[in-house]
Amino acid sequence: MIRRAVVPALLAAVALTSAAGCAGGGAAAKPGEPIPVDDRRSPSEVGGETVDGGRIDLASYEGKVVVVNFWASWCGPCRAEAPALEATYKENKDADVEFLGVDVQDTRDGAKAFMRKYGSTYPSLFDPKGEITHAFSSVNPSALPTTLILDREGRVAVQFPGSVSKSRLDPALAKIVAER
């Protein structure tokens, strides 16, 4: 008898969770697929101190395609995807494509060690309190890792929740770079 009551409750919970996941961002696309242009949203102002103590503002990348990766040194999937992100960065850095990491809920020493170990050469904002994540609330990149591709107008064009492979990132990036 209890099993009969549990199954409908579970199905209702799954339906509500699915609906909630689709709400709020206008991101009417599957993960890794381009979001329709009319549904793309720009984050609010993004900028701050980098892991190495410099300063960066997303606005400085105006007119370029930008890959934004949310990561942390303690995140296993972040470690797994780091080589693919660095390889894609190196292949595209001369083609009006920029990469920006956002190190979330981490220590500066942990972040620096991660970047050294995995050879990450693109800049990363240091976001120990997760405040920069809120600027991207229209797509909710709260799970680590999350990778976003922003179009030349600074709007979120593609979202990869979870670890991303080079074989998934490269074609999605090529589609957004090809947009004019």
CA atoms within 13 A on the CB side of 165: 2
Instruction: Evaluate if residue 49 carries a pLDDT over 60.
Output: yes
More reliable by pLDDT, 131 or 106: 106
> What are all long-range contacts of 81-84, with beta carbons under 8 Å and residues at least 24 apart?
81/145, 81/147, 81/163, 81/164, 81/165, 82/114, 82/118, 82/119, 82/120, 83/118, 83/119, 84/164, 84/165, 84/166, 84/169
- Domain segments of the chain: what residues? 28-178
Active-site residue, 22 included: no
Split at pLDDT 50, 70, 90, the class of 5 is very low
Q: Which of 75, 82, 115, 157 is catalytic?
A: 75
Instruction: Evaluate if residue 3 carries a pLDDT over 60.
Output: no
pTM metric for this prediction: 0.83
Do residues 146 and 161 lie in contact, with contact meaning Cβ atoms separated by under 8 Å? yes
**For 83-98, how does the pLDDT look when each residue is reduced to its tens digit (9 = 90+)?**
999 999 999 988 889 9
> Domain 28-178 classified CATH 3.30.365.10?
no
Q: Which of 35, 58, 78, 102 is catalytic?
A: 78
Residue at 38: amino acid letter: D
